[in-house]
Chain A
Amino acid sequence: MQATKDEASPGTEVISVEHVSLDYHKEKEPLPVLVDVSLSGKRDELVAVTGPSGCGKSTLLRIVAGLIKPTSGAVRVMGSEVKGPREDISIVFQNFVLLPWRTALENVLFGMSSRKDLTDDKKMTKAMAALENAGLSGFENVYPGELSGGMKQRVGVARALATEPRLMLLDEPFSSLDDLTAERLRKEIHSILINPQTSVQSVILISHNVEEIIELADKVVVLSSRPAHVAGEIRVDLPRPRNKKSEEFFQWVDKVYALLS
């Protein structure tokens, strides 16, 4: 039972985070980390979440992924509550998190572990397609240690894509890369993820890089410092491809900075 694009018509709410709060319990004293955070992402939308460092952006992402249970509130994907890691949610990690003892192809296949519905041949075809889509044709049998940082992250993207998720979570995917590599991957990421060939219906991007956010996002959710609550939400109405040198671009950047400070 896989997601197809047709399930969700344009404007459908793919992801909704509803009044999520999280407390850490340290010596019985509850320490609030997230307070009443709500956000939503519609079909084909890329929602960026930003905020001061240490505010809990990555924690929020882990709640959405079903890796951490919120103290209160709920996360829904296509209306059904996320109660643990699910087949239709995938993550691209900041530090790639590839298995160094497995080849690029094997890493992608590992990502498809839960796809019991597919035969091995089908899995292989899909994995190869995902690698090609991420710009890695010819690197299937290379070990991660032999790849550059940018290539490693492409494997990470391919692995996440191959699971055919509805919701794609990007956890600071460019911040471990050098500037040039990050720039190149950023240019491609939107079309890699949101195109008619993939299953991805919505993307959440965690980032602290405001220019990156304006370059990629349809909507920006700004979190406050700890305990994090939503400080503001901005819809970025800039046509793509976006010109990073234009006057207009900087106006949007300034809007986000205003909310951050």
Chain B
Amino acid sequence: MALEFTTIALDIISSWVRMILALGLSVVFALAVGIWAARSRRAESVILPLLDIFQSIPILGFFPFVIAAVYGAAPNFVGANLAIIILIFTSMSWNIAFGVYEAVKGIPQDYYDLLNVSQASAWQRIRTLYIPASMSRIAYNTQISWAVGLFFLVSSEIISYGPANVPVPYGIGVAVAQFYGPPLDYGNYALLIAGIIFAVVVWRFLFLREFALWSEKFKMMEEPREQHKDPIMRAYSWISSRSISKLFLLKPGMGVTRFTSAISRFRRGLRYALVIFAGLFILLVLVAASSSGTLHAAAIPTISQVVTTEGSVLVNLAYSFVRVWYVVAICIAVGLPMGIVISLNFKLYDSVSPLLEVVSSIPAPILLPLIVEIPGVGHDPEFVAALVIFLSVFWYIVFNVMAGVRTLPSDVKELPHVFRASRLSAWRNVYIPSALSALVTGAITAVGGAWNALIIAEYFQTSSSQPPVTQVTYGIGKEIAKATYVGAADNLTLFLSVVSMTVLIVAFNLTVWRRLYHRVTKRYTYNR
């Protein structure tokens, strides 16, 4: 088979153009919404709760609606690309908007006094104060949003080009679908992966890093200096702090806390309802987990019919819930010791972390064709789903743990040596506790990412004329993916799937995560 250099170059360039357009759109949106919310009390009370809710909806829930709405309205080249760009936008923009809001909120009063004295116009204020003040936050967020966006770019391209039959000529995801014959065209596939790694590395150094360094100039003196010198680690520790607010877990002292009173009353009432829902759900999980794989909602008619008219929604949700959690548990079991070992050893850290950077930057959906080819287990849809979820979220755990242990003062790391503690005692008393709060923030991000990964992990189809390459028996991601392919956005099942998934995730954030986060950060944070 001939290697298609030109096609692959065009694929990568097309994908990057979509990403850049989505990023541009996200930044413009973030500036408009963030500045507005920060400067108007009334806008603040509406925009911030809305942003919070949008942030916690798993982005995969947007897929079918966006494709049906945008491509349905303009079934051509423009509509297809617009649909993909909007999907990436939904994964990129909320973080950046919060960043802008917090940056503008944090501008000291003195600057406003200065502008008032000089009678600056609204546009002058935006240009000379709000935008520069937001710049460093935008730059940090861009690093995060880029990695997240890449995942959705590939997923949406695969879905658009393949089963949904949307005419997208070029793109990384398009290439993945094209090179999957079957059989897989190994030569071109390898070339594609190499090309993507090259693009990711070059982009990171030529743009993301330069942008972050350049934006440092705009930092206000009042802002606390970042602790980690490594820009990438800085970004990863930053994502963890951002993801807190993303999941309603509000850290005291963060800018976000200011607006919470408006929605906290609403939340408090909601919480009891959610606790009941969560209890019901756990019951369902137990039923689903203890019965055979052929279990259908019909087996538990009373519970499912109370909550939904379409019987299978909650069963799918239960299966996905278990899937998300056992994979995250594996990620923790591997990532916690691995992150600790790497961070404690300077030489190992210096040699391994760049490697991890590169591997983590490969969007997991690209590896799907390779995963299904793994002899023995590649045809097991549960294995495929687990591995795709793992590859999508493992990095959040390991990078957070690494950042957590690295920021530990050197005399604390010295402690087990000074008192000649055994290895077991050192891990139990010092290393694991010191990584715990970083682990929780990493796990929160990982669980969020795992829900998002489901749409591609549970169901993979490269063309509408071919049967799915892999699909699980039950799963919410599978349901949503299938509904997307048939273009059935008005489907009740789909609607209920997205709603029940969102309710579950929000309920979990409010009840379990929030409590756990507060408890862990209160005790397991090292400060003098």
Contacts and interface: CB of A to CB of B under 8 A. Distances in A.
B417 A102 contact: no
B178 interface: no
B500 interface: no
A114 B411 contact: no
Interface stretch (B299-307, B336-344, B388-396, B420-428): B420-428
Interface string B501-528: 0000000000000000000000111111
A67 B414 contact: yes
Given A67-B414, A113-B425, A176-B528, A99 B430 contact: yes
Contact of A100 (B416, B417, B525): B525
Contacts of B464: none
A139 interface: no
A113 B420 contact: yes
Q: Which of B419, B422, B425, B528 has the most CB of A within 10 A?
A: B419
B528 A91 contact: no
Nearest to B522: A145
A99 B526 CA distance: 8
A206 to B, nearest CB: 13
Task: Name the prevailing secondary structure of the B interface residues.
Answer: helix
Contact of A114 (B412, B414, B421, B523): B421
B411 A101 contact: no
B433 interface: yes
Given A95-B411, A113-B425, A176-B528, A100 B523 contact: yes
Interface string B2-14: 0000000000000
Given A85-B420, A91-B418, A99-B433, A143 B523 contact: yes
Interface residues of B, number: 23
B433 A101 contact: yes
Contacts of A99: 412, 415, 429-430, 433
A249 to B, nearest CB: 32
Nearest to A106: B429
B72 interface: no
B523 A101 contact: yes
Contacts of B429: 99, 102, 106, 110
B523 to A, nearest CB: 5
Interface in A60-110: 65, 67, 85-87, 90-91, 93, 95-97, 99-102, 106, 110
A111 interface: yes
User: Chain A contact residues (Cβ within 8 angstroms of B): what range?
Assistant: 20 to 34
Given A87-B420, A110-B419, A97 B411 contact: yes
A199 interface: no
B418 A85 contact: yes
A50 interface: no
Contacts of A16: none
A93 B415 CA distance: 10
Interface in B412-466: 412, 414-422, 425, 429-430, 433, 436
B425 A95 contact: no
Contacts of B419: 85, 90, 110-114, 159, 163
A95 B409 contact: yes
Given A100-B527, A112-B419, 5 more contacts: A67-B414, A113-B416, A113-B425, A114-B422, A176-B528
20 contacts: A65-B418, A67-B418, A85-B417, A85-B418, A90-B418, A97-B411, A97-B414, A97-B415, A99-B415, A99-B433, A100-B523, A100-B524, A100-B525, A100-B527, A101-B433, A113-B416, A113-B420, A113-B421, A114-B420, A143-B523
Interface of B: 409, 411-412, 414-422, 425, 429-430, 433, 436, 523-528
Interface of A: 65, 67, 85-87, 90-91, 93, 95-97, 99-102, 106, 110-114, 143, 145, 159, 163, 176
Cβ-closest 8 pairs across A and B: A114-B420, A113-B421, A101-B433, A97-B411, A111-B419, A113-B425, A85-B417, A113-B419
